[in-house]
Every structure is written in structure tokens, then in C-alpha cells.
Structure 1
């Protein structure tokens, strides 16, 4: 009798052990399922955030391209630079606006689309110092080369802004070309050189513009304009009255 009772107790213990193991396995399975679900939700949220941020970036680049009359190829180039910055984790901890402004400026430089730092600054509300600093960061980290801009690239746009005739533009180009040949432009900003050549050409062609008008149209200061045009005129032997 006692033996049967003991055997019965042992069987009950075994059943309880099996049930306990089952509960542990179920609990472990639930934990794994919850963990997988949690990780999936995290990835989904991250993916959504990335998609949203890229959409914002695309929208901003489209806005800048429209505002600055940027060609399609250059617009695509700026987006490509931004994507590379994202993929190389250069966005984290930095202002997206600065990255976008620098991407646009670098794309313009790469595709020979003359847009001044002042124009990019006005369109993006990012200071020129921040744009330059971010450009250097992207160039170094992404292995991009900032192609120097020639003053010649600005002549046509600046003359159009000033409503100057074609012969004035041609004369300004001649002045810039001579300045380049004599290496007068070395170490000088291309917009200052272009503005000075246009100012001189307008005087020589009897289609004068004030220093203030030229400075405002080209985005250089009147001080820079005065210094540069006098320097160019002196070095090239041009008499400006």
C-alpha cells in the first residue's frame, strides 16, 4: 500500500516537473517572441525616420534648385553628395541644413554652375563660414575634390544682373583672361575678380555702373571691388577714369 502511494506520488512529481518545464519553455518562447517583435518595431521606426529625413532633404534640395535655377544634373549631384554624407554617418550630430547647403555648393562647383557663397547663404540661411567649414569636412571625409572656380564663369550671370550689353561682357572676359595670364588672380576670390573686370569694362564701353550697383549684383563688398579693380587696372595698364 505504502509502495503504491509512493509510486503515485512519484508520478505526480514527474507530471508536475513536466508541466514546469513546459511553462518555462513557454515563458522562454514568449520572451523570444517579444524580443523579436521589439527589435522589428525598432527597425521599422528607424527605417521610417530615415525615409522621412531623406524626404525632407529631397524637398529642401528641390526648393533650393528652384530658387537658384539649378540644372537637373547639378540637383541630382547635390542629392548624391547628401546621400554619401548620410551613408558615412556624417549627418549624426550635425545640422542637416549645413550639410544640404554644402552639398548644393559643392555640386555647383563640380558641375561648373556658378553660384556664389552669398547666394547659397541667402537661399539656405546658413552662414558662409559654416558652408565653407562643412564643405571641407565633406571633401575630406568623402574624398571629394573642390574644383577652383574661374572668374570667367561668373561674367555672364553678373552682366545679366546688371543689364549690360554683350560687348561689355566680352570686354570683361578679355580683362579676366589677361588677369589670369598674368597671374593677378592668384589668391583672390573669383567673384571679386569678375566684379572688378565688369566694372572696368562698363567704364571702357561707356556703359557705366556705380560701384554700389556692381557690388550688390555680384555679392562683393564695395571695398573689395575698389581694391580689386584698381589692382587689375594697374597691373594691366588700363586707365580707368
Structure 2
């Protein structure tokens, strides 16, 4: 054993003995009046006796935060030790990023030599952040998820869920034989349906780099292998978005929901596209409330053909008449 290793071992042993001695002394401290056990009152910053109530020490230093939080999200917002971890980044946001601005802390521009140095640092920092093929795969996929979610206007909780689904697929070796973009798109589609903010396959395919058939095939495979519990899409979940894009009132939206409920009672929704039913319900509701919109406008918003809207429109009105009779 070398001299440095022996010295390090002796120092570590001495530190352990010192910590053990201090801990035992702290535990053996008793009340000076009745020899009772002492307790620390963090709210008042005092050390008191549990038996007689004597205040042994007061005005203790509180090493905790000066703020209070009542839930986890509020705690993350008030904490000043860095950004909270997120599943939307391959390293969960724990690594360091070097800003792209070539300016110092005072806002002054860097010299050419300093700019070259910072560019080299950025390059090496990027290399260290993605050390192996798995991390590079994850970085590319999560970037795709974020891009598509931004284009579709999906909230952060959907992006987080999609990132978790992709991580599970990567850990379970579901990617061999499939493209990174295809699995990432399928994860986003599944996450949107789980969160109750679904997007149709046509909408997903419109912002993805893979074809619609590949997305559907990969989605079925991922959902089956990961045993994802996803309910069938409800047409009513599409109504608020369609009504908002068309500028319809709350009355029209409520009327569209009533038409869909009637269709469910009559059983005509089975086997039909939920997007087509929602679009037809919004179109019918706009006519019933005198907020007329054209089939072409609804078709553009819902990304579905006018023929489908007309067919479902007549079916919804027939179901409404049958219930009234």
C-alpha cells in the first residue's frame, strides 16, 4: 500500500470516529434539571425538555428555506437551487448549458479569441452531454417530440408523458427495426389520447416526418408491448378545439355535445371516426344556433372531407329526431 493511500485511509477512519463520538455526545445530552430527554422545536427555534418543559436553548439558527410551499409544484417554483428535473430532456435537465450569446456577464461582446474559446467549450460540452448512442437516440427523439407538440399546441403534461413512453420503449428494446421518428410520433399520439387532448392521425401525420400508416402501425405495437391503458377516443374531446377555431359560442359547443350524447344513446357512433362525428356535430350545432359556418370551413379545421361531414350530419339529425319521437 502506498503512502498516499495509507494516509487517506487513516484520515477517513479518524473522521468516522469523530462523527460517531459527536453523535453519541449529542444523544447523551439530558435536561440539566430533571435529566429528561430533549426535543428540538423547529417552529420556535428552541430546544426543550420533554418532561419538565425547560427551555435549554433558544434562538437557534434555522437552516431551512424562508418560504413555505403547500404542494410539489409550488415547491419547485419557489426553490432557488436550479430548474426542476424534466423528462423532456435526455439528461433530465441536470447538465450545464453554455449560452449561445457571445457576451460576458456585463453584456459586453467577447473578443474574437474568447469567442473561439467559448465555441470549443460548447462543442466539448455537447459531446459530454451525449456520451453514448442511447443518449444520442434519446436526444433526437425528445427533440422531435417537442417540435411536434409545439406545432400541435399540446401542453407540457402531454410532452412529459410522451417522453416517459419513449424512454420505456427505448429501455424495453422496442426500437430495433423501427425509425426514431416513428416511435416518437407514436408516443406523442398515445400521450395526447391519455391526457384527454387527442389529435387525429391526420393531424399527427401532418407535422411528423413519417407516413400515417407507419404511425398507426408503430402506435399499435408500442401500446401492446408497453400495455398502455388508452380508452377509445371520445368525439366530445374534439368539440372544444373545433368550436374555438371556428369562433363559435358556448351555446353551439353545448349543442354539439348534446348531439353527440344522443348519437351515443342511439348507438350510431360505433365504428365511426370520432373526428368525423365531432366535426359533423359542430357543423349541425352552428346551424341550429344560427351561427352558420360552411362545411368547407369545418373541413379545414377538422382536416376531414366534406363528404364525411355531410354523411355524419344527416345521421346525427336522424338520431335527434328519433329521440324526440
TM-score normalised by L of structure 1: 0.76
Q: 1:108-138, CA deviations, whole angstroms, 9 ceiling, x for partnerless residues? A: 1111112121221111132222211111101
CA positional deviation for 1:47? 5.1
Max Rg structure: 1
Cα deviation, 1:128-167, whole Å, max 9, x if unaligned, reads: 2221111110111111233211111111100111111221
Q: Residues 56-95 of structure 1: matches in 2 within 5 Å?
A: 56-95=140-179
How many correspondences in the alignment? 194
CA shift, 1:194, in A, is 0.6
Residue 108, structure 1, aligned to residue 192, structure 2: yes
Pair 1:155-2:239 in alignment: yes
Aligned-pair CA distance for 1:233: 1.1
Alignment match, 2:218: 134
Corresponding position: 1:48 with 2:132? yes
Structure 1 stretches of 4+ moved >4 Å: none
- The yes-or-no answer on 1:221 pairing with 2:290 is no
2:53 corresponds to which residue?
none
> 3-state DSSP class of the match of 2:141?
helix
Matched residue of 1:220: which SS?
Answer: coil
CA contact (8 A) 2:185 2:204 kept: yes
Q: Secondary structure at 2:132's aligned position in 1?
A: helix
Larger relative helix fraction: 1
Q: Given the alignment of the two structures, is residue 185 of structure 1 paired with residue 269 of structure 2, yes or no?
A: yes
Which structure would you say has the larger RCO, counting Cα contacts within 8 Å and 6 or more residues apart? 1
Choose which of 173, 182, 186 in structure 2 pairs with 1:98: 182
> Which ranges of structure 2 fall in alignment gaps of 5 or more residues?
1-127
Q: 2-side partners of 1:111 and 1:134: how far apart?
A: 19
C-alpha distance in 2 between matches for 1:116 and 1:73? 18
1:30 aligned residue: none
Structure-1 residue corresponding to 2:249: 165
Cα distance in 2, alignment partners of residues 105 and 64 from structure 1: 10
- Larger deviation: 177-186 or 187-196? 177-186
Q: Please list, as runs of the form range in 1=range in 2, the aligned pairs for 1:193-212 lying within 5 A after superposition.
A: 193-212=277-296
Following the alignment from structure 1 to structure 2, what is the Cα–Cα distance between the partners of residues 92 and 171? Answer: 48
**Offset, 1:203:** 0.8
Deviation at 1:235, TM superposition (A): 2.2
Deviation at 1:68, TM superposition (A): 1.6
Structure 1: how far apart are the matches of 2:161 and 2:139? 16
Alignment counterpart, residue 122 of structure 1, candidates 193, 202, 206: 206
